[in-house]
Amino acid sequence: MKLENADWLTAPEVQSLMARFEEAGHEILAVGGCVRDTITKGFVRDIDLSTSARPEEAIHLIEAAGHKAVPTGIDHGTVTAVTPFNDIEITTFRKDVETDGRRAVVAFSDSIHEDAIRRDFTMNALYAKRDGTVLDPLYGLEDLKARRIRFIGDPLERIREDYLRILRFFRFFAHYARPGDGIDPDGLAACALLSEGLEKVSRERIGAEVLKLLDALDPGPAFAAMEASGVLARILPGATARVLPRLLHLESQYPIEGRMIPPRDRIARLASLGGQDVPERLRLSKADSQRYHLMRVEAGLATGPGELAYRHDYWTAIHTLMLRWAVLEQPFDETALGAAQRGADAKFPLRAGDLMPDYQGPALGARMKELEARWVASDFTLDRKALLR
């Protein structure tokens, strides 16, 4: 088959760059996600090329094509071509020499087959020529069309090469599979058997994978499979996937006219799982950690939608409310949306100077908080004059 509507492949920068490699006698192919996503989604974020040229030669050819070459991972054969169209990663064909479950020692290769068999899933071992012709050395097209997430060769061997592939297995299932068809039993069994190996993977890498998984339209079946296999308990002790489907259902009920997808919030979804020391275990950013703790606390309180939106913002309030309703098994309350919008738009009508000189220091701060609380309780209806009175 040939790639259809692959604007990224027909871009002049990509075509001229690939042509430069071919003129020098090297094979160069688009590979992995850009090929896979062109077939399944029709849009591509990152462009990866694979070549028989060694890294030093790749740098020379990139510069000869008029682009800047950055040796982003030259020890592993990767050079980035910085072009006006996009940054393009170009990696020499490789084969694994030694692996320890975290990183691999690689040797460069001239064989597309050797390059393909070291990849994780069959749908990621797809290549495309400059004219769009797809090369499928491991029969990944059949799996891609059937939306099957299947390890290349022996799942146990692929996982032992990099234990993060356990989480990638569930992430790809969430993003690409048809959940009704079920998860690949051999892959799931291998993930369960080798889940202890995730202890070797850095928390930063685990956190990045979990957040990507949470971004899926429906990550519920993937997390249910993770819980059943023991993988969820391995990375987030005490977590459970039972609340997540209720939260996803509430997300789908948010009334956006003509919406394509429901409003999603990865931190609210993460908070629905529970677990011990989650921000620390996943190495969340400071901002995400703060939102996580806020949502977890407020889900167990009775703070109204207006006050939540006033003190934080509209969407934080909405996702916190949906998390609360999911935990308490309550229905979607559409009346909360108007209250949240009023709170998000509200501006407290008093300034500290309005109470001076009658109040000073700590007494001033306490009085301002008291009046603000009354104003919030009035559903933001008390005006400046009423508050002063």
Q: What is the pLDDT, as a whole number, of residue 257?
A: 67
Q: Which two tokens stand for residue 380?
A: 């933001």
Estimate the share of the chain in helix, then strand, then coil, as percent rounded to the nearest 5: 55, 10, 35
Asked if 138 and 117 touch (Cβ cutoff 8 Å), the reply is yes
pLDDT number for residue 340: 95
Is it the case that residue 181 has pLDDT exceeding 90?
no
**Residues in the chain, overall count:** 389
128 bridge partner residues: 30, 134
pLDDT of residue 183: 95
Overall average pLDDT of the 323-344 stretch: 96
Structure tokens of 333? 């309350």
* C-alpha span between 76 and 50 (Å, rounded): 12
pLDDT tens digits for range 166-178:
999 999 999 999 8
Q: What is the C-alpha R_g of the chain?
A: 26
Report pLDDT digits (tens) over 334-369.
Answer: 999 999 999 999 999 999 999 999 999 999 999 999
Model pLDDT, residue 374: 94
| DSSP state string for 272-307 | HH--SSHHHHTT--HHHHHHHHHHHHHHTS---HHH
- The packing angle between helices 203-214 and 165-176, to 10°, is 10
Average pLDDT over residues 161-168: 96
Distance CA 305, CA 298 (A): 11
Whether the predicted pLDDT of 104 surpasses 80: no
**pLDDT tens-place string over residues 60-79:** 999 999 999 999 988 889 99
Give the dihedral of Cα atoms 20, 21, 27, 30; nearest 10 deg. Answer: -80
